Chains A and B, each alone.
Chain A
Amino acid sequence: MSTTLSKIEKRTAYTLLLPAVCLVFAIILFPIFANVWISFKEVGLKDIRIPEPRAKKIVKKLQNSNSELQIIYKLRNSSLIQDIREVRFSEKLPKNIEPINLDKRCEFKSQKVKCFFGNWEAGYRENFEIFVKDVNNNSININNVKSNKPELDGKSNNILLTVDFTLKNFKNVFMNNNFFDLLMTTFYFTFFGTLGAILFGIFAAQLVNQKFYGRTFMRSILLFPYVGPVVALAYTWTLLLDPNSGTINSLLVNYGVLEKPINLLGQKYLIINILGFELKLRLALTTVIFFEIWRYFPLAFLFILARLQAIPRDLYEAADVDGAGPFRKFFYITLPQITAILSILFMIRFIWNFNKFEDIFLLTGGASGTLTLPISVYQQGFAVSNIGMGSAVSIVIVLLLITFMIIYFKLIGKKANEI
């Protein structure tokens, strides 16, 4: 009895899960594995279109006869790089209409013109003509003939499904002189973006945890940067930071802080002189990091605030009795209470910032020293049009991600469940 019940339960569970699992498998897991496949191939953006035979039909009246028509098909191979094999053509003619002097490659059977064109090499073009006439020598209605569309069919290799592989993509990725720089930029961006977001999150949470007038309002607006659409916010910031007529630059110049406007998003380095040492600051990257912090500290804030509100009040009351000031209370009570959540937040935010694409893409497009791994995927795949290279970079990202996740689950995976 119990076995059948548990069988029913199992069957129910699988039925309920099936749609969701299938969808996730098709859209998320399959692409991750497909990346591996594509990354070992030399594929460009133009190769992924499957070549097809195409025909454009033009119907012409003949001058000397009303009962005959000339049909011209402009045939072509849609691909400029791949052949199509065994191209077949068929078109149904209207009633009582027959072809005359049909091409050798074609035959006329049960009102259908069927042709076999054989192989078309890449970029193949041909003007193919048929003359048709009415069987009873009546005049032909040209629209009847025009309305039919020819059907074409052919076989071609889908470059994605062939089995020739190459290591060229990975060689290009790793041997590229910029690869180390790319990796360093990504880590620099990720690390400081995460750290900054968490620091601001602590400040904001500590602030909202106090009682003051307008506290709920403050809590809502603190989440605005995260809730707003990234496109709108990124363009607003680009406008604000614009060197020619951006508000921030104009203000700084107006109040004499700067002599001339500074291109915060377009200048790779800022050279600072401190005590005779020349310091090179990655300016555009720093600006992007600040945008990142601005946009994502609300998340850290939300987490930390929830934790702060769970700290027992009597701890603070005891500290009051002992005569501790607010700073001591923060360092000796609050901070130890939130370290666990901070480490989890750091890991999670680190992983997510590592993957960040939209923010940098919209602000700088990866120019002036802000090229990170995710931007590189886009650049290789769609700007350079080398899908294979893009996939290879994706694989690098996936491998690094898996490493981070293993570290995450080893270090704090168990703690995460407790909180």
Chain B
Amino acid sequence: MKFKSLTITLFASSIFLTIIICIWKILATLQGLSFTNLNFNLNLSLSLGLTVICILIGNRFNHILKILILSLSFTILYTFLNESSPLWFSVGIFLLILFFTNKLKKYDFKYLNQDFISEKIVFEFLSLFAIIFFALVILFPFYIMFVTSFKTQTALLINPLDLSIDFSKNIFEIFKSYFVIFKTYDFGRYILTSSYVSIGTVLITLLFAIPAAYAVARLNFFGKTFLSTSILIIYMFPAIVLVIPLYTVFSQLGLRNSVEGLLIVYTATTLPVAIYMLQGYFKSIPKEIEEAGLIDGQNWFGIIIKIIIPLSLPAIASVSLYVFMIAWNEFLFSLMFLDNPKTFTLSRAINHLTGDAETPRQYLMAGSVVVTLPILLIFIYFEKYLVSGLTAGSVKG
């Protein structure tokens, strides 16, 4: 029993350590260090040794002193056995091992004698690994997007692995791509158009959705159940089946290439979900408050303006942010409806940039950063509202 849990602990932890060292090495490669070998087996045996020593020592020694000494000696050994590397790389290794040995603190012989301990330990390292895995998989593309926008096409073609930013250049040189896309490619205008379309969509959607949601939530009328079920069904129909008829009709009416046409379409496609989300919230408002309003002589308009809206501000915030996100990120309709660079939204403009194969990729990535950053910042700042909007509306996507 003890032997089994001991071996499992040893292998789980040392494989974990080896993998995070490998990930660190790969990330360092992207800073221009020329590593060509991960030395997986060598590092695995090193990690195994470290874990054995760590568990053998156990709690017989001052913990902080123990992990410092162990990490330092391991780092020196690692640097000695592997290829030469700059100081910052070794510092990174040192910190990783410090973190790792600190994690091993509670694993002594006593702890390993518990029931089901091997399963627990595997689970612990698995989740630790999963955290790193998910963080890496998600953030890596964003990192590449950001870093590429500061490089130049020629430098990337010569060495695609060197993504380091050269800080010795002056600030104008570093941010050159951003200056270029705003000056040459007119991104300032596209930001304005995109903001105009997104904010306009939010306002018009609210204007239409709040009364409709109130009617669905509160009033009795013929066809109510039919209406509330059809809202969800309508919502499931995708943009791609609407695109051809809308394209033909909008061409004949001359609404293509106009931001107003886009506004109408965005509003209509987000209306069902906005009504669905709002009516759910309106239903949770106690009826008595409205009745009090009725007695005070308010008509429905007054009730909506003076009672419903102030009480459901959180739900309205969720809906607004969700609709804003959809409108800001929308691509298909802007691709179909906008041909004239004067009316482009940001998404369409980036797509237009790729139409020319000569466009250097750092401009493309700078444009991508410009379109991604606002929505991510809004998301981080208003996360609570947007998450509840997403959960309610995430039948779509």
Contacts and interface: CB of A to CB of B under 8 A. Distances in A.
B243 A377 contact: yes
Given A32-B237, A247-B160, A405-B233, A19 B211 contact: yes
B297 interface: no
Contacts of B38: 255
B192 interface: no
B395 interface: yes
A229 B272 contact: no
B240 A299 contact: no
B32 to A, nearest CB: 12
Contact of B131 (A207, A294, A391): A207
A38 interface: yes
B148 interface: yes
Interface stretch (A4-12, A77-85, A103-111): A4-12
A336 to B, nearest CB: 19
Interface string B358-397: 0001001101110110011001100100110011001111
Contacts of B390: 223, 226, 299, 302
B87 interface: no
Nearest to A294: B137
Given A10-B222, A357-B332, A225 B138 contact: yes
Given A229-B372, A236-B144, A358-B331, A398 B244 contact: no
Interface stretch (B53-61, B68-76, B246-254): B246-254
A279 B180 CA distance: 48
B157 interface: yes
Nearest to B140: A240
B328 interface: yes
A109 to B, nearest CB: 31
A127 to B, nearest CB: 28
Contacts of B394: 299, 302-303
Contacts of A256: 36-37
Nearest to A19: B208
Contacts of B241: 31-32, 35, 355, 377, 394, 397-398, 401
Contacts of A24: 234, 268, 271-272
Contacts of A398: 237, 241
A381 B241 CA distance: 11
Given A23-B208, A228-B375, A14 B221 contact: yes
B150 to A, nearest CB: 14
A398 to B, nearest CB: 5
Contacts of B148: 239
A325 B142 contact: no
Interface string B50-91: 000000000000000000000000000000000000000000
B141 A236 contact: yes
B210 to A, nearest CB: 9
B251 A230 contact: no
A272 to B, nearest CB: 23
Contacts of B243: 377-378, 381
A12 B224 CA distance: 13
Interface in B123-179: 123, 127, 130-131, 134-135, 137-139, 141-142, 144-145, 148, 156-157, 160-161, 163
B62 to A, nearest CB: 23
Contact of B236 (A34, A255, A351, A362): A351
Given A31-B242, A224-B376, A299-B394, A236 B332 contact: no
Interface in A336-350: 348-349
A256 to B, nearest CB: 7
Nearest to A347: B395
Contacts of B239: 355, 357
Contacts of A397: 238, 240-241
A352 B397 contact: yes
Contacts of A286: none
B33 to A, nearest CB: 11
A411 interface: no
B248 A387 contact: yes
Interface stretch (A59-67, A135-143, A214-222): A214-222
Nearest to A10: B221
Given A27-B269, A228-B376, A357 B245 contact: no
B300 interface: yes
A227 B379 contact: yes
A236 B379 CA distance: 20
B307 interface: no
A28 interface: yes
A276 interface: no
A28 B328 contact: no
A274 interface: no
B325 interface: yes
A374 B26 contact: no
Contact of B144 (A207, A239, A255): A239
A210 interface: yes
28 contacts: A9-B221, A10-B220, A12-B215, A16-B211, A28-B234, A28-B269, A29-B234, A43-B248, A48-B251, A49-B251, A207-B127, A221-B135, A223-B379, A227-B376, A230-B331, A231-B329, A232-B372, A233-B141, A235-B368, A245-B156, A247-B144, A251-B161, A299-B394, A306-B391, A325-B120, A374-B240, A391-B245, A397-B240
The 4 closest A-B pairs by CB, nearest first: A27-B268, A355-B238, A232-B368, A325-B119
Given A230-B331, A235-B368, 17 more contacts: A13-B215, A17-B216, A32-B237, A207-B130, A221-B139, A232-B371, A245-B157, A247-B30, A247-B144, A251-B29, A251-B30, A254-B161, A255-B36, A302-B387, A325-B120, A394-B240, A397-B240
Interface of B: 26, 29-30, 35-38, 115-116, 119-120, 123, 127, 130-131, 134-135, 137-139, 141-142, 144-145, 148, 156-157, 160-161, 163, 208-209, 211-212, 214-216, 219-222, 224, 227, 233-234, 236-249, 251-252, 264-265, 267-269, 271-272, 275, 300, 325, 328-329, 331-332, 336, 346-347, 350-351, 354, 361, 364-365, 367-369, 371-372, 375-376, 379-380, 383, 386-387, 390-391, 394-397
